């Protein structure tokens, strides 16, 4: 017997690189196959689905009609607002990304913005932001919006939100930036494996020096872990294989608002 009803998911891509889709494909607990067969029903996903062209358009329209008020709308990528949204159009109708998002969010149960572009504008919104890119919460009003930032968003956090919704019928508790507290309630720095070196004043001073060879703290070569709220230091990426600090280059604050302009990879002043 099925433990739970599978939740219908419609996943759209706007100004994106498909990095969050790639991350989802690497979900390990549960694996993406278990996820797609047992937990959610992926009704539409441009990158993964077999259909293309008009068939794909039709599949999307069928899904939002059939699962009206019930589907979770996952959004990957920013929304261009400059030039009346003409920087991004989609489908045969030439609908702009903004119109597309507004229309599809209308009958969604909730909207989940995955990745830093969909949450806060991300790289497309970096100065001088020629396309006027913004995140989902700037466009979608009157619907619950859940933000799962990071570049890419960690699949464990996407799965966490879906499972919470499936098991309780509700969205998880969110912070003031609409991020689930279970994932974004503490800083990278709070749980970092190099923290003892920070506390002992042992820093990498130059790439490749004695400190770098001994996994000292990366703060002086630009680590933004003390300012970044995320759980990468606990769950890591790629089935727990590794994460930015683990490979010795530090955190660049990829899940923070204004990432790129504010947290470019610079040394502290
Ligand atoms: Fe903090 Fe970064 Fe140092 Fe880790 S490497 S202790 S996150 S400053
Ligand atoms: Fe991003 Fe920093 Fe995690 S760069 S992936 S938030 S360690």
The bound ligand whose nearest atom lies closest to the alpha carbon of 264 is 2
Ligand 2 center to residue 96 CA distance, Å? 31
Tell whether ligand 1 has an atom less than 6 A from the beta carbon of residue 108.
Answer: no
Shortest-distance atom of ligand 1 to CA 203: 3
| CATH class of the domain at 7-183 | alpha beta
Contact between 97 and 90 (Cβ < 8 Å): yes
Helix (H, G, I), strand (E, B) or coil at 189: helix
Q: Is 14 in the pocket of ligand 2 (CB under 6 A)?
A: no
Q: How confident is the model at residue 166 (pLDDT cuts 50, 70, 90)?
A: confident
Q: Ligand 1 centroid vs 236 CA: distance in angstroms? A: 14
Give the number of the atom of ligand 2 that is nearest the alpha carbon of residue 254.
1
Grouping H, G, I as helix, E, B as strand and the rest as coil, residue 179 is coil
Which residue, among 45, 22, 25, has the nearest Cα to 35 in the 3D structure?
A: 25
Q: How many C-beta neighbours within 10 Å does residue 25 have?
A: 15
Q: Which atom of ligand 1 is nearest to the CA of 219?
A: 8
- Write the pLDDT tens digit of every residue in 108-147: 999 999 999 999 999 999 999 999 999 999 999 999 999 9
Locate CATH 4.10.480.10 in the chain: 186-269
Q: Where along the chain do the CATH 3.40.50.700 domains lie? A: 7-183
C-alpha gyration radius of the chain: 19
Distance CA 209, CA 227 (A): 25
Please, which pLDDT band fits residue 41 given cuts at 50, 70 and 90? confident
CA dihedral for 18, 19, 24, 28, sign (positive or negative) = positive
In short, whether 230's Cβ falls inside 6 Å of ligand 2 is: yes
Residues in the chain: 269
In tens, the pLDDT along 206-243 reads: 999 999 999 999 999 999 999 999 999 999 988 788 99
For domain 186-269, which CATH number applies: 3.10.129.10, 3.40.50.10160, 3.40.720.10, 4.10.480.10? 4.10.480.10
- What's the mean per-residue pLDDT of the chain? 92
Give CA–CA dist 33/56, Å, rounded.
Answer: 21
91/72 Cα distance (integer angstroms): 21
Q: Whose CA is nearest to atom 6 of ligand 1?
A: 195
* pLDDT interval class at 8 (50, 70, 90): very high
pLDDT at 1 over 50: no
Counting ligands in written order, the one closest to the CA of 195 is 1
**Beta-carbon-side half-sphere exposure of residue 247 (alpha carbons within 13 Å):** 12
Backbone angles phi, psi at 254, to 5 degrees: -65, -15
Atom 1 in ligand 1: residue holding the nearest Cα: 189
- Structure confidence at residue 4 (pLDDT): 59
pLDDT band at 93 (very low <50, low <70, confident <90, very high): confident
Q: Does the beta carbon of 254 sit less than 6 angstroms from any atom of ligand 1?
A: no
Averaged pLDDT, 71-92: 96
- The per-residue pLDDT for 208 is 94
Share of the chain above pLDDT 90, in %: 77
In this predicted structure, what is the pLDDT of residue 85? 97
226 CA from centroid of ligand 1 (Å): 7
pLDDT at 265: 52
Average pLDDT over residues 157-174: 91
Task: Give the residue whose CA is nearest to atom 7 of ligand 2.
Answer: 251
């Amino acid at each position: 017997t099925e433990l739970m009803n599978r939740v219908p998911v419609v996943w759209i891509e706007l100004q994106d690189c498909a990095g969050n889709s790639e991350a989802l494909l690497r979900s390990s607990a549960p694996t993406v196959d278990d996820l797609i067969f047992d937990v959610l029903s992926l009704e539409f996903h441009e990158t993964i689905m077999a259909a293309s062209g008009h068939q794909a358009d039709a599949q999307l329209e069928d899904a939002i009609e059939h699962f009206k008020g019930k589907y979770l709308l996952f959004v990957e990528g920013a929304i261009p607002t400059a030039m009346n949204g003409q920087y991004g159009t989609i489908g045969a109708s030439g609908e702009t990304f903004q119109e597309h998002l507004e229309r599809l969010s209308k009958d969604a149960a909730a909207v989940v913005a995955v990745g830093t572009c969909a949450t806060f504008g991300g790289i497309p919104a970096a100065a001088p932001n020629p396309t006027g890119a913004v995140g989902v919460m700037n466009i979608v009003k009157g619907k619950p919006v859940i933000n799962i930032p990071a570049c890419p968003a960690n699949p464990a956090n996407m799965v966490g939100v879906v499972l919470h919704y499936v098991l309780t019928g509700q969205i998880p508790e969110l912070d003031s930036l609409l991020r689930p507290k279970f994932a974004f309630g503490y800083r990278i720095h709070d749980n970092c494996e190099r923290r003892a070196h920070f506390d002992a004043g042992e820093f990498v001073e130059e790439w490749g020096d004695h400190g770098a060879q001994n996994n000292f703290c990366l703060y002086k070569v630009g680590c933004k872990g003390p300012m970044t709220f995320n759980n990468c230091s606990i769950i890591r990426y790629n089935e727990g294989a590794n994460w930015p600090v683990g490979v010795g280059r530090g955190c660049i604050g990829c899940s923070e608002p204004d990432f790129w302009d504010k947290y470019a990879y610079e040394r502290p002043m």
